[in-house]
Structure 1
Amino acid sequence: MIRLPSTHAAITAPLPASSAQFPGIAIGRSLLDGREFRLSPVLTPSAVLPSTNSLGMGGLGSGKSTTAKTRIRREILDHGHQAVVIDSFGEDNATGEWAPLVRSLGGKVIEAGAFTLNPCSDLFPPEVREQLVRSLILAVEPSALTPQATHALQHGLNSPKAVSLVGLVDALAVPEDGRWPAARLTEWGEGAAIALSRYTEGSLRGLFDGQDAALPPVDLPILSFDFTRLDRNSPAIPSLMAAVSCWAEHVWLPQSTAVHRHLVLEEAWQILLSPATSELIQRLLKNSRKASLSLDVVMHTLSDLGDGRAQDLARLCEVAHVGRLGPEEAAIVGTLLGLPQWAISTIPTLGPGQAVWKVGPSHVDIIETVLTEEEAALTDTSSRRRRAQEAAAVGQEEATADEHGQDEEPADDDEPEEEKEEQEEWAWEMPPNVIDWHERAIQAAREGRCSEAADLAALGEREDIANHGLNSPEAVRWMSTRAHVADLCGSPGQAAQLRATVAHMGNSADRPTYETPVTEYGPQEPAPLPAADDDTSSPARRRILPAALTVGALGLALAFVWANPGGEEAQRQQRDEKTAAAYEGQASAVLDIDGVDADLVAEWTGDKEKVILRLLTSWAPDAQYLRIDVGDRSAISKRPKGESIIRTPEIVVPVKDPRAEVTVRVAIGGPTWQEGYRAPWREIRLSPVTGAAVETETGKTLPST
């Protein structure tokens, strides 16, 4: 029997993605088990993902934007999706992150200032036009919209002049008579007209006015609004985002013919913090499946959002991938997303292209994005990474020149320290997709990180038990690894016990062997030097002490047998009689898994050669899937469509020792379980002697029927 040590039984790390497969595009590979990771949220059943929105976070160079761009590219090419990107992040004020990818897919990049978006277009419903213009006013003059100014604005929007922003300003400055006289409307609308004049005559001119003011096309595979040339503190950013968001909701979504759409918000904290757009984003987040829309939000950290409503919007994303962050930020993100502690601790150690993924309420894995050469060229737009690659290429050429005997040029000590740090930051090598967790645990123990080593070993053992069975060679191998870790961490007693368990299970021949260090405790006295006349090479002298000890041991054994004839046999009989008197021959456990109440019952036959295990649900209407596993034997039951009864799974297992405990793995799929998805499970240890049931992971005794 294999069980986790009590000190690590409460590890809450979920099993990796090996038994949870999602449909959709290939994204990368799991670093926990090396398997391919696929995901298209829109193809995943709504019972698993109620919404299709995603949140990507990570520090500079973590690869969050590369992952987001790769996902969008593959969705467009493989599934015919359509995307609109609000790109407010670029380097050196040159161009946006998404420009190369957008152009490669036949899309269009709309740069702020080069395209004029008309907020007064008749394609917007009247109430949307008013809300959009109000957003433009609030962005530059928050105090301009008094109740009187609002009425003057409504009057101006109804004017025949208000077909463009310039015409609206004229309608506010020189209004016609209405419910109130023109003189009073002019006075009321003066503040709004002054605010809007910043877009027609002031520093924001060219964004919303002009002879060619229009709306963007809606039939392209991808469209990018590039705001990278704008000052991030400029009111133009929230104004443009409000306009684009209204266009996306009221023009693009109704007119688009794609099967699914994506609204990508790069550096999204600006749009999420703006009062003019946060309500719209919240509405789109909640109705993503109904609108056939996914909001894919990409940002650095949650700290950018503050502590208010913007962080609540982040909670509405059912899919999240978190790249490398500092420990403090990782803790904040982990708390908001409900990540387990092992995942939070992993985030600061992630490399470029690696991320902790959370899909739905419980699936957590560590995924490395896998790119083709073409994708790497299109998505890797970091100028700093390019500089590092160029520096590496120059270094390789210099090394080649040295091999051919050319003179080596002296190093340039005047290189700016900042550039050196940038090159070091990006001169990384992608790690292997499959990690040897045995070696990683042992290496951690060698470096004195014993707690981490024990956690890694416990997690790996748990995964192999789930994948290969309780008594499989893969699972037993972890016993040897844990023994080696115990040796390195100064617990020789625990190591000996683990190795004895492996030997008892008969699998030691297949286990890897490690050199066991000798650990000494306390001050050690030096060994006495041999006398000069000692003949240490004499075989007779070397055999004197062992021979004497052997004779003494035999004498003691004979004396004990002489004084206690039949004592050992009598003690064994007494133990057997006590065991027989206390033998229950049955055990049970009351379980609640995935919202389903069930009873696990084990009954040993009268001849004590078999045990019969059943999983009873009392015809629970919510039970969709039942499974029990013992060793290599399994029993599975699924509820047929349209029926209210699910068959009771049953296993008959032969036993060699009627007093030995039986370990059973129980999996139950409740009302939301779908075909092809892993059901929640627990591992229970049942005793025929006491009738008790114990959960192997926690060591907790469970109630019985």
Structure 2
Amino acid sequence: MSDERLHASVLVTPDAERRRLRKERRQAAEQLRYQARAREHAEKKARLDAERQERLSTVYLPRAGEAGAEMLRTPGRFRLPKHQDTSAVVSGQYPFLAEAGLGSDGCYIGQDLYSGASFVYDPWTLYARGAITAPNIVIAGIVGSGKSALVKSLYTRSLSFGRRVYIPGDPKGEHTPVAELVGGKAIILGRGQSQRLNPLDEGYRAAGISDHDWAVQVTGRRRELVGSLAETMLDRPLTPLEHTCIDHALTTVMRASKTPILPQVVSEILDPSPGTGSSTDARMREDGRQLGHALRRLVSGDLQGVFDGPSTVKFDPSLPMISLDLSRMVDNAALTSVLMTCSSAWMEGALLDPAGGQRYLIYDEAWRLMAYPSLLRRMDQQWRLARHYGIANCLVFHKLSDLDNVGDAGSANRALANSLLANAETRIIYRQETDQLGTTAQALGLTGTEQSLLPGLGIGQGLWKIKGRSFLTQHMLHPAELEAFDTRSKMLG
């Protein structure tokens, strides 16, 4: 037991030692804060000294100006008088009050009535800049508001930019003198005229299309045209049996002639060539009797001598302007619509050239075409392909309520007509009567302020709606243009 030793260790730190460590930590923290405050004080003092030196080195002008000759010093305080003026005058000093406009690339239209600046427009330039996604145009205005002069100046001024103009149907003949004036051609159609158009012409053939594919395209286009004409003349949709009669007639005629004409097709429908058997031929003759007699009116009735033979004129795409004058045939609205369909089909075949350049296609009195479902479908197809062929379609109305004649409310035809407006991002509205404001505002999406402007617009003044942007413009004409475009000469004497 005497050799054993006891060993002990401290398991708990005494309280006196903890207090000492805490004191040391507090002193170290206080030392750090003191050093931080000292640095901040030194930085602040250096900054204040620098500012003081800058103030001492800066020269301040006296309130009344420097003393001495030619210092413009005044004995009293200079005060500017208050000035009040209109925004039209102040816009020169405060340009942010005015719309920036569409730029300077394009055709001069006139003056922006809000800013006083020049108003310039070109659908292809705006499309290239991404300002619009559809080059089509809708123009509406009552008689005498100046919309006709706007259309003519728009396409004639575009000729210097390399554009071309095609008018597939001019019911009033007012574009004929303009076409002759600019070096273009006006084709006058009607009873007693020597010129004929064959709407069943093959049309333009793009490079690289095989003979088989080309034959399929031509046959389909001819079948669609004859069907549209038949529906218009019958004023009802075709039956499946009547479609078969058209297919049989076209196939037979095209087998015998490379370029068929309407009289051959009508004759084949009324008296089918024997081939499949006497009973079948007799049944086809009976099924196509109403169809054939309806189409016969185009070649032996009211329109005889217009579309009943080979074309006597050739479409020349190098001309700056081509217009089809239908003014000799405006005595019957239904026949005028058929006439515009045939003429537009003849011109359409020559326009289907993607390398043909940028072209205006003007549809004057557009409501005549839109009243017929078959013709409306053809227009819709053309509008959807406008960008592919570089074409800017332009519809001209008197008033937007003309669309109420297109089918019943909520019908497919009414929806199709409204889609034409939706695919036109340039909408130009000239003066409208008070009873037309609601229809116009609803169709074109006008605000209350824009709607209130329409009844008070003067001649040549129009509201331009271009993809959400609005411009109030005054169309301006050169005296030579005014003389060429004036449609009031007969009224003025």
Q: TM-score, normalised by structure 2?
A: 0.69
Counterpart for residue 137 of structure 2: 54
Distance 1:202 1:19 in 2: 53
Aligned to 2:148: 65
Q: Which SS does the other structure have where 1:37 is aligned?
A: strand
- CA pair 321-22 structure 1, distance change in 2 beyond 3 A: farther
Q: In 2, are the aligned partners of 1:27 and 1:37 still within 8 Å (CA)?
A: yes
Cα-to-partner distance string for 1:74-96 (whole Å, 9 max, x where unaligned): 111x2111111144443xxxxx1
- Of the candidates 186, 189, 194, which is equivalent to residue 112 of structure 1? 189
Contact 2:198 2:307 in 1 (8 A): yes
Letter in 1 for 2:111: R
1:135 to 2:241 alignment? no
1:46 deviation in Å? 5.5
1:363 has 2:469 as partner: yes
Q: CA deviation at 1:221?
A: 1.2
Instruction: Pick the structure with greater CA Rg.
Output: 2
Q: State the partner residue of 1:184.
A: 283
Mapped pair 1:205 → 2:304: yes
Identity rate of aligned residues, in percent? 28
> Is structure 2 residue 330 aligned with structure 1 residue 231?
yes
1:148 partner SS: helix
Counterparts in 2 of 1:234 and 1:269: CA distance versus 1, 3 Å: closer
Contact residue 315 and residue 347 of structure 2 kept, 8 A: no
In the TM superposition, residue 196 of structure 1 has moved relative to its aligned partner by 1.9
CA RMSD of aligned residues (A): 2.4
- Tell me which protein shows more helix as a share of its residues: 2
Aligned-pair CA distance for 1:214: 6.1
Give the 3-state SS of the residue equivalent to 2:346 in structure 1.
helix
- 1:22 CA displacement: 5.7
Q: Which residue does the alignment assign to 1:247?
A: 346
Q: Extract structure 1 runs of 4+ deviating beyond 6 A.
A: none
Does the 8 A contact of 1:156 with 1:175 survive in 2?
yes
CA–CA separation in structure 1 for the residues paired with 2:138 and 2:361:
12
Q: 2:365 aligns with which of 261, 267, 275?
A: 267
Displacement of 1:179: 4.8
Does the Cα contact within 8 Å between 2:386 and 2:392 map onto a contact in 1? yes
Q: Tell me if the contact between 2:400 and 2:443 (Cα under 8 Å) persists in the aligned partners.
A: no
User: Residue 32 in 1 paired to residue 114 in 2?
Assistant: yes
Please tell me the residue identity of whatever aligns with 1:60. V
Name which structure has the greater RCO, CA cutoff 8 Å, separation 6+.
2
Given candidates 143, 147, 156, the residue that maps to 2:240 is 147
Which amino acid counterpart does residue 201 of structure 1 have in structure 2?
S
Q: Secondary structure at the match of 1:33?
A: coil
Q: In 2, Cα distance between the equivalents of 1:29 and 1:226?
A: 32
Instruction: Please tell me whether the aligned partners of residues 119 and 243 of structure 1 are also in contact (alpha carbons under 8 angstroms).
Output: yes
Mapped contact 1:28–1:36 kept (Cα < 8 A)? yes
Where do residues 304-343 of structure 1 align in structure 2 (5 Å cutoff)? Answer: 304-306=402-404, 308-309=414-415, 310-343=417-450
Contact 2:358–2:390 under 8 Å retained in 1: yes
Match of 2:270 in 1: 173
Q: What TM-score, normalized to structure 1?
A: 0.49
Are the counterparts in 1 of residues 170 and 323 from structure 2 also a CA contact under 8 Å? no
Q: Contact conserved, 1:144 with 1:192, CA < 8 A, in 2?
A: no
The 1:280/1:199 distance shift into structure 2, 3 A limit, reads closer
Question: Are the structure 2 counterparts of residues 141 and 214 from structure 1 closer, same or farther at C-alpha, using a change threshold of 3 Å?
Answer: farther
CA shift at 1:384, angstroms?
4.9
Partner of 2:214: none
Give the alignment partner of residue 103 of structure 2, picking from 11, 21, 24: 21
Structure 2: segments with no counterpart, 5+ residues: 1-95, 204-216
Partner of 2:479: 373
Question: 2:18: which partner in 1?
Answer: none
- Shift, 1:175, TM fit: 2.2
- Distance verdict in 2 for CA 1:371–1:298, change over 3 Å: same
The whole-number CA distance in structure 1 between the counterparts of 2:149 and 2:225 is: 32
Amino acid at match of 1:333: T
Q: Secondary structure at the match of 1:103?
A: helix
C-alpha spacing 1:178/1:218, structure 2 compared with 1 (3 Å): farther
What amino acid sits opposite 1:366 in the alignment? L
Q: Which runs of 5+ in 1 are unaligned?
A: 1-13, 91-95, 388-705
- Distance in 1 (CA, whole Å) between partners of 2:100 and 2:236 is 57
Q: Offset of 1:147 from its aligned partner?
A: 1.9
Within a 5 Å distance, the mapping from 1:74-93 to structure 2 comes to 74-76=157-159, 78-90=160-172
Q: Which amino acid aligns with 1:228?
A: S
Structure 2 distance, partners of 1:156, 1:36, is 57
Amino acid across the alignment from 1:273: A
- Contact 2:197–2:346 (CA<8 Å) still a contact in 1? no
Structure 1 residues 151 and 68, CA, compared in 2 at 3 Å: closer, same or farther?
same
CA distance in 1: counterparts of 2:475 and 2:186, whole angstroms: 26
Contact 2:114–2:472 under 8 Å retained in 1? yes
